[in-house]
Amino acid sequence: MTRPEITGERDLTFSRWVRCNLPNSDTGWVTSDIDWYMFNYKTRKCCIVETKTRNANLTYPQEQMYSNISKWIGGGAKKDGWNFIGFFLIQFENTFFNDGKVYINGKESSEEEIKHILSLKEKQWK
């Protein structure tokens, strides 16, 4: 069974600490949280998922980060007998499936389709 989120809210204390105590981006140092890393240890498939609400887009640093991470994980996963399915950007028109459209990697989708994709059952997705 998937463990439920207990608090219902995220604590941003560490996020504030990072922003106040680590180098500024003008030094070349960049950070971004990763929303989801999903894997199935039985099928040895994995993916990374970023979610955005209100049709927000990835920032340029996030685009670069996810591109690099996908390349690095993809190459390493194969060497270890895993299949890195890829990176998925899920954009909600508002905040969730029930209050507007939803897109996965820029393509309008449905909750059922996204559930199917993130269940990691297919060999590959387009």
Q: Is the pLDDT of residue 6 over 60?
A: no
Residue 62 three-state SS:
helix
Domains in the chain: boundaries: 31-118
Q: Is the pLDDT of residue 15 over 90?
A: no
Q: Is the pLDDT of residue 2 over 50?
A: no
Using alpha carbons, list the distances in angstroms from residue 13 to 5, 18, 31. 18, 9, 15
Query: What Rg, from alpha-carbon coordinates, does the chain have?
Result: 16
For residue 30, what are its two tokens? 């960049």
Q: Is the pLDDT of residue 104 over 70?
A: yes
* pTM of the predicted protein model: 0.85
| pLDDT digits 0-9 by tens, 53-76 | 999 999 999 999 999 999 999 999
Q: What is the mean pLDDT of the chain?
A: 89
Say what the pLDDT of residue 123 is: 55
Integer Cα distance of 15 and 42 in angstroms: 33
103 sits in the region (left: phi over 0; alpha: psi -120 to 50; else beta) called beta
Percentage with pLDDT > 90 across the chain: 75
What one-letter code names the amino acid at 61? Answer: P
Using alpha carbons, list the distances in angstroms from residue 21 to 15, 75, 81. 10, 33, 39
Pairing type for strands 45-52 and 107-109 reads: unpaired
- 9 or 76: which carries more pLDDT confidence? 76
Q: Is the pLDDT of residue 125 over 90?
A: no
